[in-house]
Chains A and B, each alone.
Chain A
């Protein structure tokens, strides 16, 4: 339990640090494995194929040979036919990496076609693709005639689209300007300069250089020194995010810097800020973002602009008990070695005491075998706690200072952890008046022994202990909590305060009677001591206390409900007891049967009476037809009675009514016949 708590606290603090200040780390193997995953599929377009190949080239990963063959075929097809400018451009880019076998005649034909379209191109994108393709052909087929006849004119037409704030428009019809377009334009201008048959006027080149500086004035930044370019709003073209915009500018600026003789005075901190921006992305998720990031970083390393050097620390948590050493690495953005330099630890200070420095002016030793700068031993005054270390890079070759962008002082938060000693733990029950120790017990908090005490409401309990750091100083952790839990699960938490060296808490039960809800009984003690820099944070049960409190008065507050265990919501609920109406009292069965027989008696009496009267069947018709009707009538009545019995026993009203309808009709008919017969016979008798 204690170790779990300690690890959790440590993790929380590490996460919080990472969110606060991210120190960029150079490209590492995680990038390479991500690249293999992102770019594994067969790409549909030449643009994606080119991106994959370029990433593999920069990260020095192996290409798949069968993919190369298929791609080469695709490239040759595109070069031969009249495909779009974009496809041609990317086909040539792919060819630049794969170096497929293409006929010189194909190059010649393509070049002449392109030279013809240069003057017709109206939009910036078209000019960009055309000039870019021509530059690529020049690199791949050196003996083909590439030079532009009217380089000045092309230069002018590109420059005409520039804006005063350093950005560019896409075409003369479209008034919106874009930073992404500025990148394309700079690359195109660089291409024109390299293809020009005669020198371009130097003043024009200088105008472009000042355009670049104006563009850098509009750079955006984050608080931690990261610089990037972004578009103001989407506009007509699809919105380019900050990554693609910044990569486009980097591409443009580096290609322009490559063809011009003088230097462009780009401020070093902005270049370093751009490197931080690209590295701060981490490992991008999409192929296009990955390509933009890696290609921009490679271009920043290409010596055309000051090369950014990145200082990073493999670990920011150092353990005194394990005697860790402070390690620092300085690399270029792609992870390759830096020029000879020294890392200076300018000063280190505790986050609570920003004024006084704990370490000042130390140089780190360079370990050649591991490529690290190391501070072998922390000085004695570095105790457990949170510090900020301030580093500075000093190049050995002071002349090459303009070639590298190293930034100023770098602030890094460092955690120094150690084992905190817990000692002199004492717990006692005191008499309130005298303050004398009735029962005092010492505890070894490192072990597992527990105490058992008893007290009543007139007494106090005192608990004290000391915390010491590995270097012998008093330590104040973030959490020192004492919890008392009653057997009914009511808990009370107290913060233990420190005075100087000692942590002490005195619980005066007289004042706490109300807070404890007048519950007497056994209370369990639990002590929690925790901090991020404490390697042995713990949660330890101390023992129990039998507390005798007076009875609750009638006006005392009712016990608040205990927090419900949240998982009990999903358990079974209490059984519901249904209350049914008590069944009515029924008579005993014998009584009912007796009365049933009694009820039938009058019927028997009726039959007896009839017999005594001398009823007979003499009037029953003798001839056949009336006789049948008579019989049917009697049967019909009997059937109706039977139907009623069935109705009572099991039928429902509708069935009965249906049957009764039929029977009734039958009965009416038959009854009518027999009764009319009887009537006619009696009428005959009367008349006769």
Chain B
């Protein structure tokens, strides 16, 4: 039985990987960006766990900037994904412009809170 579960798991991963490879490149770029943001957030949390929360506002600012930009990127991906019928009418350039604007505002707030 153990051998079948591991074989099943390997099969599952292979299937997922091949399905994922089919996604368009621009969506993959966005996925890379989200992964980058999340990893940065994780490293900051590990640091705070190590040295304590002294400038707490800086920690919050850092983590929330990562999380915020990840969220904005995800919403951009949703809008750009052709399989989403709701967002069919929105031009991808418009979605990108929204993404850029929202990031500008987010980073202004983040920089103010950074201290």
Contacts and interface: CB of A to CB of B under 8 A. Distances in A.
B104 A640 contact: yes
A648 B58 CA distance: 11
Interface residues of A toward B: which range?
A: 35 or more
B35 interface: yes
A647 B50 contact: no
10 contacts: A586-B51, A599-B40, A599-B43, A602-B40, A610-B32, A640-B104, A656-B111, A671-B97, A672-B97, A679-B92
Contact of A585 (B37, B54, B92): B54
A648 B54 contact: no
A477 B39 CA distance: 102
A304 B39 CA distance: 129
Contact of A603 (B40, B51, B96): B40
Contacts of A647: 108, 111-112
B104 A679 contact: no
Contacts of A591: 50-51
A660 interface: yes
Nearest to B52: A585
Given A603-B36, A613-B25, A682-B92, 15 more contacts: A586-B54, A587-B50, A587-B51, A595-B46, A599-B40, A601-B39, A603-B40, A606-B33, A606-B35, A615-B29, A648-B111, A653-B112, A660-B108, A664-B104, A675-B93
Interface string B91-109: 1111011001000100110
B29 A602 contact: no
A602 B91 contact: no
Chain A facing B: main interface SS: helix
Contact of A602 (B36, B47, B94, B111): B36
A609 interface: yes
A155 to B, nearest CB: 110
B114 interface: yes
Nearest to B36: A606
Given A585-B54, A675-B96, A610 B29 contact: yes
A664 B33 CA distance: 24
Contacts of B14: none
B28 interface: yes
Interface in B1-29: 25, 28-29
A302 interface: no
B81 interface: no
A660 B112 CA distance: 13
A641 B50 CA distance: 30
Interface string A674-687: 01101100100000
A644 B43 contact: no
Given A660-B108, A675-B97, A613 B29 contact: yes
Nearest to A668: B101
